[in-house]
Homo-oligomer: A and B are copies of this chain.
Amino acid sequence: MAKGVNLKSLAKELGISVTTVSRALADYDDVSSATKQKVKDKAQQLGYRPNHAARRLVTGRSSAVGFIMHGAYGDFRDQFNSRLIVSLSQALHDVAPNHDLIITTVPQDKSELDTYKRFVDSGRVDSFIVSRTQIQDPRVDYLLSQGVHFVTHGRTADAEQHCWVDTNAELGFRQATESLIQRGHRRIVFLNFPQQLNTAVLRQSGYQAAMQAAGLPGRMIHCEFGTTCAYEPVRAMLAEPLAPTAFVCASDVYAYAVLQACLDLGLMPGKDVSIFGSDNLPPVDSNRPQLSTLDVSFSAVSHAIINLLLDQAASSRSVIKHKLFDYHLLERNSTGPCPANVKT
């Protein structure tokens, strides 16, 4: 790094102590206004640039929020993750222009928790956003034990002990399933997230509530993250004698895989097979049928997360706040009535 004006040279120039210069620049009460002004004027005149590594030692504050992504939960290539990160970055820049969202990925075969520890130990960030929350989440346990500020996107079994922002998945998936039942579907399969995710449990319970209320047997599979994992099992199901007529999908990523399987088998989405997705992820092809999906604003969710984080940073005592968003049902081209000629 280039050498420039630092606290020491400023102090020498002004003929006062380094401590006084440091405390003057940090606006401490024990430095007189006159001295503060003198120090700040000189700092500006000489082009002094604060060394934040030093500053953090004094204030315990960096201006960075960490987001650590593990390969097992999809990485940047996962459309949900990439959109969430872009939206969080935008929200942070909007609300706190001098803050940065600092993102890192952990390969699937490496420990995510080691990276958290490295970030905490190094003081590289002073707060975290934790996504893809598990029911029992070791990241949450660790951050609570360290007293580090964080907000989760998604709840955990310990939801009362930490700040979170989430969507009402139980209600949303019940409504999506009900809308298919009302259109006459009876064989409705649920493509769910991996079972350790907290939201997978909520999604499942919404789906099951709707199926049970209609006296229908449920059928659910858990899919790993990624675009390809849903394709094969769905294609196999569609070849069964009593094939499903509808799919409810925990993510549009899975819904697009169902769409693809339908097209490959010559089935028309929205007519032969109905597909309900989630998260309103944009299609890759503009001329494909538009997915019916559970919509929630990435921007609204991101602003809520950022605001909870900044509230924590601004508050001297621990304040636990939550924000639950409702999904908006977007019924588009991929859902329709159950075909009349379907075998029962």
Contact = CB atoms under 8 A, between A and B. Distances in A.
Interface of A: 1-2, 49-54, 56-57, 60, 62-64, 75-77, 79, 81-83, 85-86, 89-90, 93, 97-98, 100-107, 110, 115, 118-124, 126, 145-148, 227-228, 231, 260, 263-264, 284-287
Contacts of A75: 82, 86
A62 B100 contact: no
29 contacts: A1-B126, A1-B147, A51-B121, A52-B122, A52-B123, A53-B122, A62-B122, A62-B124, A63-B122, A76-B76, A76-B82, A76-B86, A77-B83, A89-B104, A89-B105, A90-B107, A93-B110, A98-B118, A100-B119, A101-B104, A102-B102, A102-B103, A102-B124, A103-B104, A227-B284, A260-B285, A260-B287, A263-B287, A284-B284
B49 A121 contact: yes
Contact of A85 (B76, B97, B260): B76
A104 B100 contact: yes
B122 A1 contact: no
A100 B118 contact: yes
Nearest to A117: B49
Nearest to A78: B82
Copies of this chain, complex-wide, total 2
A225 to B, nearest CB: 13
A123 B64 CA distance: 12
Nearest to A256: B284
A242 B2 CA distance: 58
Contact of A53 (B2, B115, B123, B285): B123
B2 A124 contact: no
Nearest to A145: B2
Given A1-B60, A77-B82, A77-B83, A89 B107 contact: yes
A227 B85 CA distance: 19
Give the most central of A98, A115, A121: most B CB within 10 Å.
A121
Nearest to A148: B1
Give the most central of A89, A101, A119, A286: most B CB within 10 Å.
A89
A100 B115 contact: yes
A230 to B, nearest CB: 13
Given A54-B57, A89-B104, A124 B64 contact: yes
A62 B231 CA distance: 43
